[in-house]
Chain A
Amino acid sequence: MPVHVSGVVRRFTSQASEPVEVLAGIDLEVPASQFVALLGPSGCGKSTLLRLVAGLDAPDGGAVMVDGRPLRRREHPEALAFVFQEAHLLPWRTLIGNVILPLELRGTPHGERRDRALHMLERVGLADARDRYPAQLSGGMQLRGSLARALVTEPRLLLLDEPFAALDEITRQRLDALIHELWRERQFTALFVTHSLREAVFLAQRAVMFSHRPARVVADRAIEFAGERGAELRGLPAYHERVEQLYQDLLVAEAGA
């Protein structure tokens, strides 16, 4: 599902101070099935952009088009799913109950729900934990659960807002591998906000670097590797060159150039 962002401006007003401009005319064209990493200094507005694409927030200027249709206020694209910074599973529902929830809200026929949810849990390796409550799951398992919840509706656009920031390195690499696999399988469009340059290089076909507030695009690079992306990718010189290049971009972004 293609996403077109053109000239998007977003300001936040607070009573105490002048309005703060967070996004100052962002243009971004994302073709269908592309995996894009959104990078930049903390607080630069990456997450704001993601929320605009989801229809959770409305721009003060410019337009967001998803699947060729302009987004109106309080309208959320149908085939979209959002993965938040924390898992945010509903604690009173079992894991499978949480994965069923989007199907329930969308009105998927009763008979299909459980099978689809179970299939998705198998896919993220949590079928055995399906009847456990979120409090009985580790942080990594909860995030895998939230990934299953996001993908169960078979979205064509997946928005991820720094979902793995709180995890340890090994768990994070495993989940990155899982996302990569799922993306190859299903070919959804993905916008992935992250602070980890290595994560971005491992997952994304394209990395967009934003500057400090008000955010502008300071670099927009294709990330291509010959061959498949597996664990061995992290050892290749080409991988490290890419990470180094993004690091230089980040320094530029930090300097506010």
Chain B
Amino acid sequence: MTARRARDLAGRLAPPLCTAVVGLGLWELWVRWTDPPRFLFCAPSEIVRDAIARAGELAMATWKTTVAVAWGFALSAVVGVAVGVALSSSRLLERALYPYTVILQTVPLVAIAPMLVIWLHAGVQAVSVCAFIVSLFPVITNTLSGIRSIPRPQVELFWLYGARPLAVLTKLKLPGAVPSIMAGLRIAAGLAVIGAVVGEFVAGELGADRGLGIVVVVAAKQGELPMLFAAVALASALGIAMVGAVNAAAYFLMYRWHVSERPD
């Protein structure tokens, strides 16, 4: 890494790190100053202390949730793009199916999770499906609108040269929709984490194979506030990592040609 790149990276990381340090510092000072009852509030230092003491348990839970998030997200990326492409290919199909994709967006997850438990039993499969259901809609709708916004003359150009439908799909529609698809995946990445954690509340495995969602539920019941905070922090970190991964993929795919990935 060159000195310049290192400086760029430092310039990018410093502001959010400062925010974190200042925020956590104020929080710590406030708790030490006012000394609230520990079943109501705890200090960052206490969260870190408990988290380190039970690091193995938390690492395992984070891993379990990560697996479910990864499955759910991968599934919604593949299915979402495929459904978006299918809907874009015919107005009739779009009219017939699109209204029902909105259900994905509106149905409360906690209401369907019990059904998933009946069909799939509690565990990583049911939780993955929760993450999938919650993160699918933005991928479908962004793929669809990305393909629909490809400029008409570009499509006509392909017609004029007698392009086959497969060539239109792979050389025009998919690459043309990439910026939009990546925007959809970015939203889906965060939603997949929410879907998995909330899914675990209802459909998560208990015991040794529990994920972060179960850690949250158990810690809340037992009044272990530091554990509760630690699990929430890890779930947030997972979300940030997921969105970061999508951003990296978007950069890799588009930095050469798209304005959104251009350095200032």
Among B163, B172, B257, contact of A134 (Cβ-Cβ < 8 Å): B257
Q: Complex Cα distance A102/B162, Å?
A: 9
CB contacts (< 8 Å) of A92 on chain B: these are 175-176, 178, 254, 256-258
| Contacting pair B156 A82 (CB below 8 A) | yes
CB contacts (< 8 Å) of B163 on chain A: these are 105
**Given A90-B172, A101-B171, CB of A84 within 8 Å of CB of B153:** yes
Among B167, B178, B258, contact of A105 (Cβ-Cβ < 8 Å): B167
Q: Complex Cα distance A99/B163, Å?
A: 15
| Contacting pair B158 A133 (CB below 8 A) | no
Looking at chain B's contact residues, the main secondary structure is helix
| Contacting pair A76 B178 (CB below 8 A) | no
CB contacts (< 8 Å) of B257 on chain A: these are 91-92, 133-135
**Given A101-B171, A134-B257, CB of A90 within 8 Å of CB of B154:** yes
Q: In the complex, how many angstroms separate the beta carbon of B256 from the nearest chain A beta carbon? A: 6
Q: Mark A134-160, 1 if CB is under 8 A from B, else 0.
A: 110000000000000000010000000
Decide if B151 is an interface residue (CB 8 Å cutoff): yes
CB contacts (< 8 Å) of B154 on chain A: these are 88, 90
| Contacting pair B256 A133 (CB below 8 A) | yes
Q: Which residue of B lies closest to A84 (CB)?
A: B153
Q: Complex Cα distance A90/B256, Å?
A: 13
Decide if A36 is an interface residue (CB 8 Å cutoff): no
Decide if B159 is an interface residue (CB 8 Å cutoff): yes
Considering the complex, which residues of chain A in the window 80-123 have a beta carbon less than 8 Å from any beta carbon of chain B?
Answer: 80-82, 84-86, 88, 90-92, 101-102, 104-106
B151, B256, B258: residue with the most chain A Cβ atoms closer than 10 Å: B256
**Given A133-B256, A134-B257, CB of A88 within 8 Å of CB of B151:** yes
| Contacting pair A105 B162 (CB below 8 A) | yes
Q: In the complex, how many angstroms separate the beta carbon of B24 from the nearest chain A beta carbon? A: 41
CB contacts (< 8 Å) of B53 on chain A: these are none
Q: In the complex, how many angstroms separate the beta carbon of B156 from the nearest chain A beta carbon? A: 6
Q: In the complex, how many angstroms separate the beta carbon of A69 from the nearest chain B beta carbon? A: 16
A-B contact count (CB 8 A): 57
**Given A54-B160, A56-B159, A135-B259, CB of A88 within 8 Å of CB of B153:** yes
Considering the complex, which residues of chain B in the window 158-212 have a beta carbon less than 8 Å from any beta carbon of chain A?
Answer: 158-163, 167, 171-172, 175-176, 178
Number of B interface residues at 8 Å Cβ cutoff, please give it: 23
Q: Complex Cα distance A127/B241, Å?
A: 42
CB contacts (< 8 Å) of A91 on chain B: these are 257-258
Decide if B157 is an interface residue (CB 8 Å cutoff): yes
Q: Complex Cα distance A54/B162, Å?
A: 12
CB contacts (< 8 Å) of A80 on chain B: these are 160
| Contacting pair B259 A82 (CB below 8 A) | no
| Contacting pair B153 A105 (CB below 8 A) | no
Q: Complex Cα distance A134/B257, Å?
A: 8
Q: Complex Cα distance A86/B171, Å?
A: 20
Q: In the complex, how many angstroms separate the beta carbon of A47 from the nearest chain B beta carbon? A: 12
Among A76, A81, A82, A101, contact of B162 (Cβ-Cβ < 8 Å): A76
CB contacts (< 8 Å) of A76 on chain B: these are 159-160, 162
A56, A80, A153: residue with the most chain B Cβ atoms closer than 10 Å: A56
Q: In the complex, how many angstroms separate the beta carbon of B149 from the nearest chain A beta carbon? A: 13
Residues of A at under 8 Å CB distance from B? 54-56, 76, 80-82, 84-86, 88, 90-92, 101-102, 104-106, 133-135, 153
Report 16 cross-chain contacts, Cβ distance below 8 Å, ordered by A residue.
Answer: A76-B160, A82-B156, A84-B156, A90-B154, A90-B175, A91-B258, A92-B175, A92-B176, A92-B254, A92-B256, A92-B258, A101-B171, A104-B171, A133-B257, A134-B257, A153-B161
